[in-house]
Amino acid sequence: MSSPPLLEGFTVLDLSSVGPASRCSRILADYGASVIKVGPTSRKASVQIQPPYFSYGAGRGMKRVQVDLKATEGKAAFLRLAAAADVVIESFRPGVAARLGIGYDDLKRLNPRVVYCSTSGYGQDGPYSSWTGHDLNYLALGGFLDCSSRRDDGAPAIPGATVADSAAGGMQAAIAILAALLRRGASGEGAYLDVSVADGVLSLMSLHIDEYLATRNEPGPGSNILTGRYACYDLYRTRDGKWLSLAAIEPAFFANLCKALGLERWIPYQLDDARQEEIRAALRKAFAERDRDDWIAELAPADTCVAPVYSVPELVDDPHLLARKVFLEAKHPEHGGFRQVGPVLAGGRREQPAHRVRSEAETDTDALLREVGMTKQQIEELRHAGVVE
C-alpha cells in the first residue's frame, strides 16, 4: 500500500492567479496539500489575469472559491477560511493585502500558526519594492541575462523558460513555506515570508556573483567553463540540422568523447585557451557527419555527457520521459482531452487518474464555507448580495 501524499492534511489558500505564487501553490498541491484558489467574483474578475485552461496544471487537485474581498461580508468570509488554513499565499503589490484587512497581522490575530507568504518582484521593502515587473525584468536585474549568450544584434537572448517565475519565485516560495511548516511543527509558531523574485535570481546566480565578489573576475558569455569558454561545453549542429548538447567538463568524459570521434589528439588541450577554436572546428566537423539521434545512440551511453537538444514536440514522446510517467491525462469539458506535465518533482505521485478540468464557473464556495461554520442561509445571503460565487 502506498504512503499518503507528503503534504496531506495541510490547507493552503492561494490568492494569486498567475506567476510565482501560482507556481508555488502548484508545487504544494502536487505534494498533496489541499490548495484553495481564492479568486474575485465574476463582476470583479478583471482585476486578475485569467490563465489559459491548460496552464498551472489546469487546476489539478485544487479547489476554488470566489469572493469579493473589498466587501465587508466577503472579507469576513475569507477570514473564516484563513482562520482554519495552514498557509496563505498572496501576490498583491506590497501593502495592498494589509489595506484590504487580510495582511499577516490581521490573520495572525485569528490564526497564530498561519504561515503567510507574500510574493513580489522586488520584495516588500527597499527602493524598488513598488516597481512592477515580469520574469525578464528580474532576470535582467539579477545578472542572469548578462551572463547568457548573445543574439545577432548583441543583446542577451531571451530565455526559453520563465526561470525567474518558476525557480527564483515559485520554488523559493515553496521551499520557504516548507521550512516554516517544519519550524511550526516544533514551536507551534507561524511565520511571515517575504519572497522577492529578484532575490531568488541572485540565489540562482550565486556561483557567478560570489566568484566576482571574491576575485573581481567579471562573469559573462565565455568567461568560464559554464558560460561557453571551452569547446567541451557547447552546442553542436548535426547532419540533419538538429543540435546536440555537449557538457564533458571532467577530463575522463572529454577523453571518452575524443576517442569515440577519433579526435584523441585534442585530449591534452581540453582547457588550453589557445586551442579552443581548433577544437570547436574539429568537433563541428565530426558532429556534422551524422544525424543527431545516431550520435546520441552511440555517445550518450558511453560516458561522454551528450544529450539531444529537443523541441517540445520531441520531448513529449521521448521514451525515457514516458517511462518515468511524467505526463498525466486531462479532459476539459469544451476543449477535450490532452496531456499535461504531472507531479514530476521528487516525492510527487506520478500515477494518477485522468484529471477532469472544471469550467471557470464551477467553484467549491458553498462546501468550503460550510466547512468553516457558515450556514446555508448565510451563504445564500452572500451569494444574493454578489459577495461570493
Is the pLDDT at 123 greater than 80? The verdict is yes
Q: How confident is the model at residue 361 (pLDDT cuts 50, 70, 90)?
A: confident
% of the chain at pLDDT higher than 90: 95
From 3.40.50.10540, 3.30.56.10, 2.60.40.3080, 2.40.50.140, which CATH number describes the 11-204+333-384 domain?
3.40.50.10540
Angle at 232 between CA 229 and CA 234, to 5 degrees: 70
Which ranges in the chain are annotated with CATH 3.40.50.10540? Answer: 11-204+333-384
Once rounded to an integer, what is the mean pLDDT over residues 177-185?
Answer: 98
pLDDT in tens, 228-264: 999 999 999 999 999 999 999 999 999 999 999 999 9
Rounded CA-CA distance 196/129 in Å is: 9
Is the pLDDT at 300 greater than 60? The verdict is yes
Confidence at residue 264, expressed as pLDDT on a 0 to 100 scale? 98
Is the pLDDT at 2 greater than 90? The verdict is no
Confidence at residue 135, expressed as pLDDT on a 0 to 100 scale? 97
pLDDT in tens, 309-356: 999 999 999 999 999 999 999 999 999 999 999 999 999 999 899 999
From 3.40.50.300, 3.60.15.10, 3.40.50.2000, 3.30.1540.10, which CATH number describes the 228-237+243-308 domain?
3.30.1540.10
Q: How confident is the model at residue 65 (pLDDT cuts 50, 70, 90)?
A: very high
Q: How confident is the model at residue 50 (pLDDT cuts 50, 70, 90)?
A: confident
Angle at 191 between CA 119 and CA 210, to 5 degrees: 60
Is the pLDDT at 37 greater than 70? The verdict is yes
Once rounded to an integer, what is the mean pLDDT over residues 210-232?
Answer: 95
Once rounded to an integer, what is the mean pLDDT over residues 299-307?
Answer: 98
Which range among 114-118, 239-243, 385-389 shows the weakest confidence by mean pLDDT? 385-389
Is the pLDDT at 54 greater than 80? The verdict is yes
Q: How confident is the model at residue 47 (pLDDT cuts 50, 70, 90)?
A: low
Rounded CA-CA distance 26/37 in Å is: 10
- The cell for 369 is 464555507
Angle at 110 between CA 376 and CA 172, to 5 degrees: 105
CB burial string 12-48: b at 16+ within 10 A, e below: bbbbbbbbbbbbbbbbbbbbbbbbbbbbbbeebeeee
> Positive or negative CA dihedral for 367, 370, 376, 377?
negative
Confidence at residue 1, expressed as pLDDT on a 0 to 100 scale? 47
Which ranges in the chain are annotated with CATH 3.30.1540.10? Answer: 228-237+243-308
Is 134 among the catalytic positions? yes
pLDDT in tens, 242-252: 999 999 999 99
Question: At 304, which amino acid appears?
Answer: T
Tell me which of 105, 125, 134, 240 is the catalytic residue: 134
Confidence at residue 297, expressed as pLDDT on a 0 to 100 scale? 98
Question: 3-class DSSP state for residue 309?
Answer: coil
Once rounded to an integer, what is the mean pLDDT over residues 136-162?
Answer: 95
Confidence at residue 45, expressed as pLDDT on a 0 to 100 scale? 62
Once rounded to an integer, what is the mean pLDDT over residues 169-197?
Answer: 98
Average pLDDT over the chain, rounded to an integer: 95
Is 165 among the catalytic positions? yes
Tell me which of 14, 86, 165, 199 is the catalytic residue: 165
Once rounded to an integer, what is the mean pLDDT over residues 294-301?
Answer: 98
Rounded CA-CA distance 101/124 in Å is: 17
